[in-house]
Structure 1
Amino acid sequence: MPATGPGQRRPGHPCKDALAADIPSRLTKVSSDYDDMLYTLHERAPHAKILAVGYPTVIPKDTSKCGYNDPHQFGTITQGDLDWLRQDVLEPLNKTIEKSAGTNSAATFIDLYDSSQNHSVCDAGKWTEGILDDNNNPAFVHPNAKGHRNAADHLAPALLNAIGIN
């Protein structure tokens, strides 16, 4: 295969090939564990209000925006794997958390995914850093200040509503 550099995306989906078979069982386990956690929280604090926060958009719908071998994005993860990770891992994980929260009367799901569209690691106006941030510090694909601001904008009203301050 020809060498690839920044901006060039290597084909294929080696992560999917190696891991896809286990994802359904892992999501089932996450669902069970999340249900158990919410139940235990409610049992130990029956008057508590629980805010279950989903993941933001990390990977864009158009993964051709993501450069290959770029540590400020996803390093050497292929475009095929990025598509798979978004569609078959991240989006179902958010649905799993939302479903678990929906089965517990004390829990409310906070969706950050929709509000963070077009602000992924590979977008110019990103709210999530890649493996490294712009200063070459480890970020490990976590929200930056703008991503945290978006989360706060969604959490604050939910929190105020949960404690009865509208």
Structure 2
Amino acid sequence: MRITRLLTAVVAAAILLPASATAASAASIGSYVALGDSYTSGPFIPVQRVDPLGCGRSTANYPSVVAAALHATRFTDVSCAGADTTNMTRPQGVPFNGTNPPQLGALRIDTDLVTLGIGGNDYGVFGSLTSTCPGLRASDPTGNPCEEHFGDSVTTTIDNIGPRVEAVLATIHERSPKARVLVIGYPRIAPEKGYCPDVLPFADGDYAWLNIIEEKLNRTLSDAADADGKAEFVDTFGPSRGHDACARGGAAWINGKDQNVFEAAAYHPLKTGMAGVAAVVLKSLR
């Protein structure tokens, strides 16, 4: 069953890629290590791994799709829901009495490829927005009550995430000096235009602000990769245009407000989103 699901995801990713990119990305790779938070691990996306179960690590997340496409001889996915940059070097307690070891412990001297998807949980950025903004919509449905509530505090906080990511990247290079290192950005949650309060219950004016916050976070990650000088930033925000939580007809990459334990966590990537992000990553590896 696991192999079948992986192959299905690989096919989905390949459909999104030009033929030349698919062929190029099929070249075999030795050792691949995936690091990151829930946007990497894929909570509730079938099939969930149990090592530990509380990490919400899916066998159909984008690292798994990428590893299958690259024919990685050794694939290690230590991504975990709730992780922030501190969990790269410290153990992370997770639900169901589990512990995820420090993620950088998975790196080896002979690691060839590392993907890092981290930053959204630092200082509680994503969690604060998704827990606070929906409750403010009723007070001003067509306004921007969440932006008014937080003011400049979120963007100021994001500025502090960059140095943390740079420190993680420096340690990755120390432990795996030959590895190609990709910093994976966050895909789009809100649409460029229009609203879908039944799916994404933010006030209408807060949709544009949410996009500004996501763009700011992704720019911070990109700047961290540039400052590092060795890592590469992979933009998924741009390629996910039209695949936001409001997208219809199966085009959405991101789940909305409803938690679905058989599909995806609220405000998190769907299986289609993981396949889409994998396609972007594979294209960047041409």
Root-mean-square deviation (Å): 2.2
Q: Which residue of 1 aligns with 2:255?
A: 129
Contact 1:56 1:113 in 2 (8 A): yes
TM-score using structure 2 length? 0.46
**Tell me, which stretches of 5 or more residues in structure 2 are unaligned?**
1-139
Equivalent runs, 1:3-152 vs 2, <5 Å:
10-62=141-193, 64-67=194-197, 70=198, 73-75=199-201, 77-87=202-212, 89-124=213-248, 125-132=251-258, 139-152=265-278
Contact 2:185 2:234 in 1 (8 A): yes
Q: Which residue of 1 aligns with 2:3?
A: none
- Quick one: distance in 2 between partners of 1:29 and 1:116? 26
Greater share of residues in strand: 2
- Quick one: distance in 1 between partners of 2:264 and 2:258? 5
Question: 1:47: Cα distance to partner?
Answer: 2.1
Question: 1:22: Cα distance to partner?
Answer: 0.8
Q: Which residue of 2 aligns with 1:4?
A: none
What SS does the corresponding residue of 1:74 show, helix, strand or coil? coil
Question: 1:53: Cα distance to partner?
Answer: 0.4
**Tell me, which stretches of 5 or more residues in structure 1 are unaligned?**
1-8
Higher relative contact order (CA 8 A, sep 6+): 1
Question: 1:135: Cα distance to partner?
Answer: 8.2
**AA at the equivalent of 2:241:** Q
CA gap of 1:80–1:110, structure 2 versus 1, over 3 A, is same
What SS does the corresponding residue of 1:59 show, helix, strand or coil? coil
What SS does the corresponding residue of 2:252 show, helix, strand or coil? coil
What SS does the corresponding residue of 2:236 show, helix, strand or coil? coil
